[in-house]
Amino acid sequence: MTSFTNKTLITQEYPKPPFNKQRQPIPGLASKMEPRPDHGETSYRGTGRLTGRKALITGGDSGIGRAVAIAYAREGADVAINYLPEEEEDAAEVVKLIEAEGRKAVAIPGDIRSESFCQQLVKEAAQKLDGLDILVNNAGRQQFNESIRTLSTEDFDATFKTNVYAMFWITKAALEYLPAGSSIINTSSVQAYEPSAILLDYAQTKASIAAFTKALAKQLGEQQIRVNAVAPGPYWTPLQVCGGQPQEKVEQFGATAPLGRPGQPAEIAPLYVTFAETTNSFTSGQVWCSDGGTGTL
């Protein structure tokens, strides 16, 4: 019997908690996090799996959306990203990374809590990319609250508008442009299945996204448009440090995962690539989880 050890199988020693205390105002910037998240800026290597494709990604400035934008560009796709104006610093970095791959980058700032903006977002992305065949509904709002008694209607509404209404508005508008063979990919969460007490509104929205994904996949099957979702577990993104978690949880974020740390955005981007590529043509209505070994789904 032959045995061998290949140390290259371990891609990188990612940071483990405890992390330093840190708090940012909403919406937060990846560039100001410590440690700074890995979005695949130097590590992701493409192999042409999305050559010639045209993608719109919401929340594409940082976190998972940024990692997906980098991966898509390195796989050969042109990419439009949406983000809030306050996130321009991070978005400008993403644009440079996309263009460095020789791909077209389109930056469209704006608040997706507005139906009219969502419609304009899709129209502008499709026009500037000269088409659209991948839609990634990724932007999200997460603010912890200890009790339903202190969860305001304003905050509840803002979370649902960002996470659920915007997904509905953007997807509906995108169907005017998406041809057969297109892929819609939504970002759900393990919170849809194992909700935290302090994320009452957020967890509800993520469960809604999972149901939306499965129902829409049935609607669009005849049109040969696939609809899937990714359900991240603890991932190190600005969402956590700008009110998504209490400070004590930020310091120990990801510690309870079997791998002993939070995931880095670069580690989940390949799932979005797999859902998008045309060779994965019989997979629809699925929710794939990446949570560091908990086995939630």
Residues catalogued as catalytic = 202
Query: How many Å apart are CA 220 and CA 223, to the nearest integer?
Result: 5
Alpha-carbon distances of 13 from 16, 64, 139, 261, 262, rounded to whole Å? 9, 19, 28, 10, 12
275 in Cβ contact with 71 (< 8 Å) = no
* Residue 237 identity (one-letter amino acid): T
The sign of the torsion formed by the CA atoms of 132, 38, 254, 297 equals positive
* Pure H helices in the chain: 63-74, 88-100, 115-129, 153-160, 166-174, 200-220, 238-239, 247-251, 269-276
